[in-house]
Structure 1
Amino acid sequence: MLFLAAAILSASIHVFGVVEAPPATSATVVSATDSGPASTSALVLERACVVDEADELDGARCLGELTRASSASLDVLRQTLDPAGDDIGTTSSALTADVAPATVLAWWESLDRVHQDRLTTALPGLVGNLEGVPYAARDTANRSFLSDAVAALDIRLAGGSTSPDDLARAAMLDEVGAALADRTSGTADRHLVALDTVMPGRAAVVVGDLDTADDVSVLVPGMLFTVSGQIVDWSETAGDLYDEQAAWATLLAGRSADAPQTTAVVAWMGYRTPDLTNVYSLDLARVGAAHLADAIAGLDAVRAADPARVTVVAHSYGSTAATMALSSGRVTVDSLVLLGSPGSVVETATQLAVVGSDVYAAAGSFDPVAGSGAFGADPGSAAFGAVLMHTGGGPDGLTGQALSAALGHNDYLRPGTESLRSIALIGLGHGELVDVDERTPGTGGPELPDIALVRPQDLYARD
């Protein structure tokens, strides 16, 4: 770890209170506070950020060094970083690998507004992806990070000096920008609360205000979803769920004379999903589970004084990743919805960190993945203990509205379906209004094919 951390600094990434003077004048290194003796990057890193006995990076101490960094040192650091490259992601990971979001929040709140603005200007890709930093600040930082990255790539592409990933990265970032600008669905503003420019990219777009919403739903995608290909679609899906929840919140408030609940929906694409060549491996699910747990822990930290009700809505392979995250012992959520799941890594819903085991499953009659048990227990089975949602459509029991069926693998989140109506109600804490599927688990549809025979268009072609 010491070698990795020293390499970060020696590659002109002088985060930890050290800046390198211009080569033409001096090769010495001075402290971030512009006082104190000259030192080498590795020695300063070892003194400031490494626990000597364990030989590991101490992220909390590193954040402290950022607190003491001068404007001049932060400006130099900004100039050394590639705004469209991999180094900011490496730096972020190294800084926060061992730091709890609550610690990050305490650190951020200890800074005055001037220093927060300095860090956001100099290190937008770092600030925007620190779990524990409030989401309004992360949105500001990530939009700046996105703008800087697009501008840098435009210059490279115009000059012909590109790296192998630059064309793909530029296309991916264009899609992120399109997702933020899109207003096909969702009546609330959109916010960019996570952005990793390292291909294939990671991002999270929020419809609504994550800092204040009463109810938060996190949408976790399954296989074949990429930022380049699906971030616009996934953000529209988040908007569809937001609109459904807003309508139900208003209706339910009218019935009880309470103020409508406020909501936020996260189009979370925070991990690399598999394709048909590696779908049988759970390696990407494990990584996704860790990132999902980080995101939930970050939300818990930011909202500690005013907790939101949190629902995870996970589709396909993402449902397996979600069961990993919620059986890790790291985080707890209020509700969990597993859509078209190929399997849970635990045997029963009671083994998941969900308040009151408020777990739901949906298995469309013509879904070739749901019930396959490819990765463990079938969440739709009676033995698992989840509520099996009715997805066959019919009149809404409260409004009389005709609801369409969700039969295939990608139907569950379509507007107008019974399943979207149920997911919206679950996210609002009204799972008691969800119609239950009384079928014997495993019946009511065709024989399920082997998952390896499923066509890509069956899995992600939503429209």
Structure 2
Amino acid sequence: MAFTMQTLLDADPGRIHIAAEAWLAMAGDLDDACEELIRGSRDLPDAWQLGPAAEAAQAANRDLLAEASNTEPPARRIGQALRTHADTVRGLQEMARQIAAEATGRGFVVDLAAGTVAAGTALASDSSGGQQIGQTISSYVQQLQSIIERAVDLDESTMNAIRVNLPNARTGFGTGRLQNVSRTDLEAQAKRSPAEVKGWWDSLTPLQQEQAILEFPYLVGSMNGVPVTDRDTANRSVLQREIDLSKQQLSPIDARLQYLQSMFDQGRIHEVYPDTSDPRTSMDVEMLKLGVQRSEIADKLHGMEAISSRLDDPDKPGAYLMGLSAAGDGRAIVAVGNPDTADNVVTFTPGTTSDVAGIATDLERTDRMAVDANQMDPGRKTSAVYWLDYDAPDAVTNAGSSDYADSGAPALREFQAGLRATHDGPPSHNTVLGHSYGSTVVGYAAREGLAANDIVFLGSPGVGWVEGADGFKVENQVTEPGGQVSWQKAGKEHVYASTSPLDAIDVTGIGDLKRFGVDPTNSAFGATTFTTDNKSWWNPVENHSNSYWEQGNPSRANIAKIVIGKGGQVS
């Protein structure tokens, strides 16, 4: 049967879209089931090692894992092809109707079903414009014919996508395994956008994803565009390795300290330092150096163990480790609730002195924000993400430099883009909250455009030399996962700020002029301000550090309102 304009107009893109979502949902279920199968049978070779029965069982398990793994990518590709088909059909139908409306408005008679255009009575009686009328009719017909040709090409490409992704009648999806993911593959992906990384990751079979996670957890765990659950699996492996390594590093230090103390107690310290005339001083110097080394390692180990404890706490909402590095002061990204499936997501960027060693307090703050928002809006899920993926100033004396914000801003922008790329379902309401120097990082990031709906500044030393709230860019419209339609000026409706009345941050400037620009709570800045109470009437440092998340402080309810998309109701 020939493809006609009527064929296109009779197509129902809504039903095609429903079919596409069904295929994609099935692909997701297959992926989840396959991952559960892979992890559930991971220890089979160790549990059942010897004999022909064990060998046969392991071979059968390998074949089952391979075929199960091979089913998900084809199902996903069919779903994506159908989704593209539905969207394109809808667009072509609209184009045809617009052409018909324009032609009719100019006096032509259009039969869309037949794809014909003719001059109306008034035009037909105009003998002076016959040639021009004929050319116009020809142009309209060619436009309609072009739409039909595009529809035919679309139909063929979609059918081909379905055909090549269906299982073989004899071998199903096969038991062969595709080539392993290499370090080079992952390093190449790390240079691409989060949306591109997500597309590449989805193209892998579950077995390929599992192999990449097991062999290269440091690379997979840090990659924006990889789904949260897979990053979590990789980073938990990284966390355990770093905890074990820290303990190994402590062992020789402790042994040396014990040895030095023992030799000193026995009066034999001169045997340890035979070439010095003052062995006691040499011992003191070495023990001081070892003590500093031990303290740095032990503090970081304590922080990593706090992360591990929070991840495994059965009495709190599920948490996901989205990033971890033990280099320097350490870096970590911990999500309370899964941001890929949440309706609301808040990213919390901490400030000066933040590091892995002291992460327990910030994790508690993150938990509180998630709990507050979920209690305020129980019908929708909220995820709160602690984001320390930048080098925060080590001390107040370092916090006067903008270098930390300059280097942290691009990483924050990339992370937020990653949240959009991996999110399942309708786009979530995303908020980015910066406290203290973290607000400066957020401000620097938002100058270039930040993938978020709203921005919150708490106890800020300034958010960059910008023209107030209009100097930031947030998303104009998000229509699909990974999609973003232009930037818009943030303005009062999307920028919120608050500072405790007796906050120590006031010493970072004179009046409303702070170290990094105008105080965002100043009315001239143009943000929406909200109420925060002091925790202490005599300790401004305590007010700056802890007041915003204290029980009973109105700032907690105000933050929750912003996070769930009701910022217009803040007090």
Q: TM-score, normalised by structure 1?
A: 0.65
1:207 and 2:345 are equivalent in the alignment: no
Paired with 2:314 and 2:194, the residues of 1 have a C-alpha distance of 31
Query: For residue 152 of structure 1, what is the aligned residue in structure 2?
Result: 245
C-alpha spacing 1:224/1:153, structure 2 compared with 1 (3 Å):
closer
Query: For residue 112 of structure 1, what is the aligned residue in structure 2?
Result: 205
Query: For residue 126 of structure 1, what is the aligned residue in structure 2?
Result: 219
Paired with 1:269 and 1:109, the residues of 2 have a C-alpha distance of 27
Paired with 1:246 and 1:280, the residues of 2 have a C-alpha distance of 36
Query: For residue 50 of structure 1, what is the aligned residue in structure 2?
Result: none
Query: For residue 86 of structure 1, what is the aligned residue in structure 2?
Result: none
Q: TM-score, normalised by structure 2?
A: 0.53
Query: For residue 58 of structure 1, what is the aligned residue in structure 2?
Result: none
Unaligned ranges ≥5, structure 1: 1-66, 78-90, 251-259, 394-405, 436-463
Unaligned ranges ≥5, structure 2: 1-176, 257-289, 476-489, 507-511, 535-540
Measured against aligned partners, the alpha-carbon deviations of 1:12-34 in whole angstroms (never above 9, x if no partner) come to: xxxxxxxxxxxxxxxxxxxxxxx
Query: For residue 398 of structure 2, what is the aligned residue in structure 1?
Result: 278
* Aligned with residue 289 of structure 1, among 409, 412, 437: 409
C-alpha spacing 1:70/1:176, structure 2 compared with 1 (3 Å):
same
* Aligned with residue 386 of structure 2, among 231, 251, 267: 267
Query: For residue 515 of structure 2, what is the aligned residue in structure 1?
Result: 374
Equivalences for residues 23-62 of structure 1 within 5 A:
none
Paired with 2:218 and 2:248, the residues of 1 have a C-alpha distance of 19
Measured against aligned partners, the alpha-carbon deviations of 1:243-278 in whole angstroms (never above 9, x if no partner) come to: 11111113xxxxxxxxx1100001111111112232
* Aligned with residue 233 of structure 1, among 348, 351, 361: 361
Paired with 2:427 and 2:194, the residues of 1 have a C-alpha distance of 15
Q: CA deviation at 1:234?
A: 0.5
SS in 2 for 1:168: helix
Q: CA deviation at 1:92?
A: 11
Q: Given that residues 217 and 313 in structure 1 are in contact (C-alpha distance below 8 angstroms), is that contact kept between their aligned partners in structure 2?
A: yes
Measured against aligned partners, the alpha-carbon deviations of 1:265-308 in whole angstroms (never above 9, x if no partner) come to: 01111111112232111001111111111110111111275321
Task: Return 151-160 or 420-429, whichever deviates more.
Answer: 151-160
* Aligned with residue 312 of structure 1, among 426, 432, 440: 432
C-alpha spacing 1:148/1:279, structure 2 compared with 1 (3 Å):
same
Q: Given that residues 226 and 269 in structure 1 are in contact (C-alpha distance below 8 angstroms), is that contact kept between their aligned partners in structure 2?
A: yes
Q: Given that residues 322 and 332 in structure 2 are in contact (C-alpha distance below 8 angstroms), is that contact kept between their aligned partners in structure 1?
A: yes
C-alpha spacing 1:375/1:344, structure 2 compared with 1 (3 Å):
same
Q: Given that residues 462 and 515 in structure 2 are in contact (C-alpha distance below 8 angstroms), is that contact kept between their aligned partners in structure 1?
A: yes
Q: Given that residues 250 and 297 in structure 2 are in contact (C-alpha distance below 8 angstroms), is that contact kept between their aligned partners in structure 1?
A: no
Q: Given that residues 431 and 563 in structure 2 are in contact (C-alpha distance below 8 angstroms), is that contact kept between their aligned partners in structure 1?
A: yes
Paired with 2:249 and 2:474, the residues of 1 have a C-alpha distance of 47
C-alpha spacing 1:195/1:287, structure 2 compared with 1 (3 Å):
same
In structure 2, give the amino acid aligned to 1:222: G
C-alpha spacing 1:243/1:412, structure 2 compared with 1 (3 Å):
same
RMSD of Structure 2 on Structure 1 (CA): 3.1
* Aligned with residue 554 of structure 2, among 409, 418, 433: 418
* Aligned with residue 452 of structure 2, among 333, 345, 351: 333
Query: For residue 195 of structure 1, what is the aligned residue in structure 2?
Result: 324
Q: CA deviation at 1:421?
A: 0.7
Q: Given that residues 186 and 238 in structure 1 are in contact (C-alpha distance below 8 angstroms), is that contact kept between their aligned partners in structure 2?
A: no
Paired with 2:208 and 2:299, the residues of 1 have a C-alpha distance of 33
Paired with 2:528 and 2:556, the residues of 1 have a C-alpha distance of 15
1:100 and 2:193 are equivalent in the alignment: yes
SS in 2 for 1:342: coil
Q: CA deviation at 1:181?
A: 1.7
Query: For residue 24 of structure 1, what is the aligned residue in structure 2?
Result: none
Equivalences for residues 67-86 of structure 1 within 5 A:
70=180
Q: Given that residues 342 and 375 in structure 1 are in contact (C-alpha distance below 8 angstroms), is that contact kept between their aligned partners in structure 2?
A: yes
Query: For residue 499 of structure 2, what is the aligned residue in structure 1?
Result: 363
Q: CA deviation at 1:153?
A: 3.5
Measured against aligned partners, the alpha-carbon deviations of 1:47-86 in whole angstroms (never above 9, x if no partner) come to: xxxxxxxxxxxxxxxxxxxx98648xx6xx8xxxxxxxxx
Paired residues, number? 330
Paired with 1:201 and 1:69, the residues of 2 have a C-alpha distance of 34
C-alpha spacing 1:383/1:337, structure 2 compared with 1 (3 Å):
same
Paired with 2:186 and 2:458, the residues of 1 have a C-alpha distance of 31
C-alpha spacing 1:165/1:301, structure 2 compared with 1 (3 Å):
farther
In structure 1, give the amino acid aligned to 2:543: G
1:301 and 2:442 are equivalent in the alignment: no
Paired with 1:95 and 1:377, the residues of 2 have a C-alpha distance of 41
Paired with 1:192 and 1:69, the residues of 2 have a C-alpha distance of 28
C-alpha spacing 1:104/1:97, structure 2 compared with 1 (3 Å):
closer
1:168 and 2:296 are equivalent in the alignment: yes
Paired with 2:303 and 2:397, the residues of 1 have a C-alpha distance of 25
Q: Percent same amino acid among aligned pairs?
A: 33
Paired with 2:550 and 2:459, the residues of 1 have a C-alpha distance of 14
